[in-house]
Homo-oligomer: A and B are copies of this chain.
Amino acid sequence: MAPPSHLAYVPFISVENMMRLVHSIGIETVLRELADAIEHDFTRWPLFDKTPRIGSHSDLGVIELMPTSDGELYGFKYVNGHPTNTKQGLQTVTAFGLLAQVSSGYPVLLSEMTVLTALRTAATSAMTARHLAPRDAKVMALIGNGAQSEFQALAFKAVVGIEEVRLYDIDSAATRKCAANLAQSGLRVTPCGSSQEAMEGAQIVTTCTADKQYATILTDNMIGDGIHINAIGGDCPGKTELHRDILLRSDIFVEYPPQTRIEGEIQQLPEDYPVTELWKVITGEVEGRRSASQITLFDGVGFAIEDFSALKYVYTRALETGHYQHLDMIADPDDPRDLFGMLTRAGVEAP
């Protein structure tokens, strides 16, 4: 069988190559560059095709497709969410994604996105905090110390300048794991015995718990004036982290309202409750933080444009560093109308 032509090949970033790529650049640099890439695409928000993710739900979880396009490139992410997977030694969330040329429909990149999603989620949170958190924020409470927690800590260090993270999780083993992973990070890491204790002295609180249905990770009395809340754990229907009273005291910022109203903290509020679209803050169209006493809440659920930005970023970086391989994914007959001829000739030429 003759080797496939270059048109047949799609660059593929495996998990191993993604990890090599991240280490060759440096995790904090990747988080900073991702935050900038995502911020840039938020300034181009109106030109993207936007649609709420397309979910396939079962009793055990959800499988979603998240497509978007900026008119030049098309991207989508496949992602699942299965809270009970960890009991079988599996990831709660796994993901992969694809970029394609809009003009031809040909894929230009296939990539693992389990690691990349963790990076882009943290970069989005930190980029958002750059616009909404108190300017001198140095201390962050980190409630929920699972798979996303260290990425959040490092992103807030690299992008916002956070110096101390105060950890709490109902499972103290998770806190120990998180603290150990951050031991060499340059952050001051303070494990705490309660959410309340974690909140002491914090200007930012990040909630990223995983398995709870309508849990109340934070109650109203814990949130003092001026705090920025980065709530990213409530990200599907029936799953929230914050007491409703906190929402009522906060100015709420969201990625894409039609999706956040279904999946975010604001599913607790009436459908017409006023929220601000984050991209309008980033373009300067709407003010973000207006005063030192204001409580700002980023109700982050993750949106397709962030994955698009992340895929575009690693595409460029992978081609630069060579951390990818070629996949023979696209049939490329000599004559495009002669797919059958390609198939039959392959049979004749096969050993």
Which residues of A come within 8 Å of B, CB atoms? 1, 4, 7-8, 12, 14-16, 19-20, 22-23, 27, 49, 51, 54, 56, 58, 60-63, 65, 67, 69, 71, 74, 76, 78, 80-82, 85-86, 88-92, 94, 96, 98, 100, 102-107, 112, 114-115, 118, 146-151, 174, 177, 181, 327-333, 335-344, 346-347, 350
Q: In the bound complex, do residue B74 and residue A56 qualify as a contact, i.e. CB atoms below 8 Å apart?
A: yes
Q: In the bound complex, do residue A346 and residue B80 qualify as a contact, i.e. CB atoms below 8 Å apart?
A: no
Question: How close is A231's CB to chain B, nearest CB, in angstroms?
Answer: 19
Q: In the bound complex, do residue A91 and residue B336 qualify as a contact, i.e. CB atoms below 8 Å apart?
A: yes
Q: In the bound complex, do residue A80 and residue B67 qualify as a contact, i.e. CB atoms below 8 Å apart?
A: no
Instruction: Give complex CA distance A66, B56 in Å.
Output: 12
Residue from B14, B49, B118 in contact with A56 in the complex, judged by beta carbons closer than 8 Å: B49
Question: Looking across the interface, which residue of chain B has its beta carbon closest to that of A328?
Answer: B14
- On chain B, the residues within 8 Å of A340 by CB distance are 118, 147, 149-151, 181
Instruction: Give complex CA distance A118, B339 in Å.
Output: 8
Instruction: Give complex CA distance A340, B27 in Å.
Output: 10
Question: Looking across the interface, which residue of chain B has its beta carbon closest to that of A122?
Answer: B340
- The 5 tightest CB contacts between A and B, nearest first, are A80-B105, A114-B331, A150-B340, A14-B328, A23-B347
Instruction: Give complex CA distance A74, B168 in Å.
Output: 36
Residue from B81, B103, B330 in contact with A112 in the complex, judged by beta carbons closer than 8 Å: B330
Q: In the bound complex, do residue B181 and residue A338 qualify as a contact, i.e. CB atoms below 8 Å apart?
A: yes
Instruction: Give complex CA distance A20, B107 in Å.
Output: 23
Residue from B4, B23, B94, B338 in contact with A346 in the complex, judged by beta carbons closer than 8 Å: B23
Given contacts A56-B74, A58-B102, A146-B337, 5 further A-B contacts (CB under 8 A): A22-B343, A27-B347, A54-B67, A63-B74, A80-B104
Question: Looking across the interface, which residue of chain B has its beta carbon closest to that of A92?
Answer: B336
- On chain B, the residues within 8 Å of A78 by CB distance are 76, 98, 100, 107
- On chain B, the residues within 8 Å of A115 by CB distance are 331, 339, 343
- Name the residue in A4, A85, A339, A342 with the highest tally of chain B Cβ atoms < 10 Å from its Cβ: A339
**Interface of chain A, main secondary structure:** mixed
Q: In the bound complex, do residue A82 and residue B94 qualify as a contact, i.e. CB atoms below 8 Å apart?
A: no
Instruction: Give complex CA distance A341, B180 in Å.
Output: 9
Question: Looking across the interface, which residue of chain B has its beta carbon closest to that of A334?
Answer: B89
Q: In the bound complex, do residue A104 and residue B81 qualify as a contact, i.e. CB atoms below 8 Å apart?
A: no
Q: In the bound complex, do residue A100 and residue B63 qualify as a contact, i.e. CB atoms below 8 Å apart?
A: yes
- Could you name 6 residue pairs across A and B whose Cβ atoms are closer than 8 Å? A19-B347, A60-B102, A63-B74, A94-B106, A96-B107, A147-B337
Question: How close is A93's CB to chain B, nearest CB, in angstroms?
Answer: 8
Question: How close is A28's CB to chain B, nearest CB, in angstroms?
Answer: 12
Residue from B27, B82, B174, B342 in contact with A337 in the complex, judged by beta carbons closer than 8 Å: B174
- On chain B, the residues within 8 Å of A89 by CB distance are 7, 336
- Name the residue in A98, A147, A150 with the highest tally of chain B Cβ atoms < 10 Å from its Cβ: A147
- On chain B, the residues within 8 Å of A76 by CB distance are 65, 78
Instruction: Give complex CA distance A149, B339 in Å.
Output: 10
- On chain B, the residues within 8 Å of A74 by CB distance are 56, 63
Q: In the bound complex, do residue B330 and residue A63 qualify as a contact, i.e. CB atoms below 8 Å apart?
A: no
Instruction: Give complex CA distance A348, B119 in Å.
Output: 19
Q: In the bound complex, do residue A336 and residue B86 qualify as a contact, i.e. CB atoms below 8 Å apart?
A: yes
Q: In the bound complex, do residue B333 and residue A177 qualify as a contact, i.e. CB atoms below 8 Å apart?
A: no
Instruction: Give complex CA distance A82, B232 in Å.
Output: 39
- On chain B, the residues within 8 Å of A346 by CB distance are 16, 19-20, 23
